[in-house]
Amino acid sequence: MIAIIDYGVGNLFSVEKAFAQFTDKVKVTSDQQEIEQADKLVLPGVGEFGACMKNFSDSGLMNTVLERIKAGVPLLGICVGLQILFEGSEESPEAKGLGIFKGMVRRINAPGLKVPHMGWNSVDIAQKDLCLFKDEPEKPFFYFVHSYHAVPEDTSIIAATTQYGEQLTAAVAKDNVMATQFHPEKSGDVGLLVIKNFVES
């Protein structure tokens, strides 16, 4: 079973609907036992970094998810679900992230361009053997909505980048934890392929 973690943020049902195209074993859940028994986890997130972390902490699910990650369960973070995997964010200096990856989330520096970065952007895939990007075309276009992006200390975890005023982290991956800054569920066929690849990995 794939558990989409419901900690009170994000449009979970559009994510669930995208996953349901490839498996009938997917469920939006805030049930600790279901998360403990899930084969794979999806960590969505939209809005402010600090609010996401507060919701996650208040939900009582954070330690369960961290334990499942340590146990090697595959996890896919989406949007702010990627950002909270890091140590912190300029958006909410008082809030600590999960610290799974070392590094900070920084405001996009794009002089002359609108921030938030909103819309379709081509992506350069760095980790070409990553399961998420199997069978993707060269420089696929994905849909982004964000004002901040992760800056990992260890650049080897950067799975994909995109250009918007500066080079931005579009996806990260290490071992069983992977995440996209873009929204695969809103990115048409190439986005659905990312979801399909995660389901089948």
Task: Evaluate the CA torsion angle 55, 117, 15, 78 in order and state its sign.
Answer: negative
Question: Tokens 């146990």 — which residue?
Answer: 71
183 is catalytic: yes
Residues 15 and 48 sit within 8 Å (Cβ to Cβ): no
Q: Is 192 helix (H, G, I), strand (E, B) or coil?
A: helix
Instruction: Indicate which residue of 16, 91, 136, 185 is catalytic.
Output: 185
Distance (Å, rounded) from C-alpha 78 to C-alpha 135?
20
Of 131, 113, 130, which Cα lies nearest the Cα of 121?
Answer: 113
Active-site residue, 79 included: yes
Six-digit token string for 61: 């699910």
- 117, 146, 149, 183: the catalytic one is 183
Backbone angles phi, psi at 116, to 5 degrees: -70, 150
Beta bridge partners of 120: 143
Out of 16, 79, 117, 149, pick the active-site residue: 79
Check the CA dihedral 114-192-15-51 and report its sign.
negative
Residue positions annotated with a catalytic role: 79, 183, 185
